[in-house]
Amino acid sequence: MTDPNDNQLIPLNPADDALDAHVTRNVTLAGQAANYHAARGVFADYLSRKADNTIRRQAADLARFADYLNEVGELAGLELGTALTRFAQAVADYPDGPMPDADAWRGVTWGLVEGFRNWMVVQGDAVGSINVRLSTVKAYAKLATKAGALSAEEHAMIRTVAGYARKESRRIDERRETSRRGDKKAAAVHIDKKQARKLKEQPDTPQGRRDALLMCLLLDHGLRVGEVARLQVSDFDLRAGEMRFYRPKVDKEQTHKLSADTLRTLHAWFGSGDAPEAGPLLRGSRKGGALTAPGMSERCITNRVRVLGEGVGLEGLSAHDCRHYWATYWAGKVDVLRLQEAGGWSSLAMPRRYVEESKIANEGMT
C-alpha cells in the first residue's frame, strides 16, 4: 500500500489481514449454511406452489418411474427403486407426511431416464402419458440437482432425453404390439349436436335437474371435471347471468357469461329447492335417484357422465370428451386467443390443435 503524499510503501498491518480472512471465512460459512437450508427446502417450495391435482399426478408419475427402477434393480441387483418409491409416496402425502428426501435421486443417470422412456413404450403406455411422466422426472431431477443430490453434468445429460412429437407417436403406435396401457382413450368420444342436446335435456326430477345442469356446464362452458367439482353456490349470479370460478390448473379466476341452457337449468335447480343453500353447487345422488349431501367428487361426476352418455348411445363418455366437444365447436367460430382465454389454457398449443382440426381442407374449392 502507498501513501499518496510521498508514494512510499507503507507496511501492511497483519491484524488487517487476519480480520479480512476472518470476515471472508464467516461469509463463506454463511453462504454454505444458506445453501444447505435452501437445498433442504427445495421440494417443499416447489410443492407449495402446485395444485393438489398436479401433486397427485406427479406422485403417480414418480411411482411409475420407481416401478421401472425396481424392475431394473431386480435384474442388476440394485435397490435404487426402493428409495424412489418412498420419494413418490412422500410427494403423494404432501403436506401431511415427511418431506421428500433428495438423496433418493443419488444414482439416477440420464441412461436410466432414457431407459424409463423406452420401457414405457414397450409396456404400452400412451405416448401422451410417456411425455408427461418424462417431464415430471426431469422437473424433479432439476430440483434434486439444486439440492445437491445430482451433479450439474448429470442433470445436463438428463435434460437431453426427449419425449415424442405427434408424428413420432403415430409411428410408435403402428410398430409396437401393445399401443396403449390403462384407461386413457386414444381419441375423444365424438359428440354430435343432437346427442349434446339430449344430454342437456334430462327428466324433470331432482336427479334429472342436477344432471341437466352438470351437462350444460361441461358442454356449454368446457369446464374441466375438477373445476365443476369445485363450483360453489356463491359462484353464480343469476341476475347478471354470470358465473365466476377458479381454474386450479392455471391458478386463475374467470368469469363466464352463462349460456341460455345453463341459465335455464340453474333457475330450475335453484327454483325447485334442490340446490344447497350454500357451499358446493351440486349434490350427489343414490342409485334410486334421491339426492344426497352437497358436493360431487370428480369420481362421481366422471361416473355420472359415463352413465348419461350410455343413455344417448355414447360408450365411455367422459367430462373431457365434453370439453373436447366445446373446444371443437368454438374453434371454427372464434380466434385462437379467445379460445385459449375461454378454455383456461396456459399456452396456445392446445387451442391451436382444435383450430387446425376444425378446418376444412378444401374450403373455397367446391
CB contact at 8 A, 306 and 185 = no
d(CA 231, CA 226): 9
- Provide, for the chain, the percentages of residues in helix, strand and coil under a 3-state DSSP scheme, each rounded to the nearest 5: 60, 5, 35
Q: How many CA atoms lie within 13 A of 2 on its CB side?
A: 5
CATH fold, domain 193-357, is: hpI Integrase; Chain A (1.10.443)
Q: Which sequence spans correspond to the domains of the chain?
A: 42-175, 193-357
CB burial of residue 258 (10 Å; 0-12, 13-18, 19+): buried
Q: How many CB atoms lie within 10 A of CB 158?
A: 23
CB contact at 8 A, 43 and 143 = yes
Q: How many CB atoms lie within 10 A of CB 279?
A: 11
d(CA 269, CA 263): 10
Cell numbers linked to 137: 422426472
pLDDT by 10s per residue, the chain, length 366: 444 455 554 455 555 565 555 555 555 444 444 444 555 689 999 999 998 888 999 999 999 999 999 988 765 546 778 899 999 999 999 999 899 999 999 999 999 999 999 999 988 888 888 999 999 999 999 999 999 999 999 999 999 999 998 788 778 877 776 555 555 555 678 999 999 999 999 999 999 999 999 999 999 999 999 999 999 999 999 999 999 999 988 888 999 999 999 999 999 999 999 999 999 999 999 988 999 999 999 999 999 999 999 999 999 999 999 999 999 999 988 999 999 999 998 888 888 888 777 766 556 656
Where do we find the cell 341476475? 239
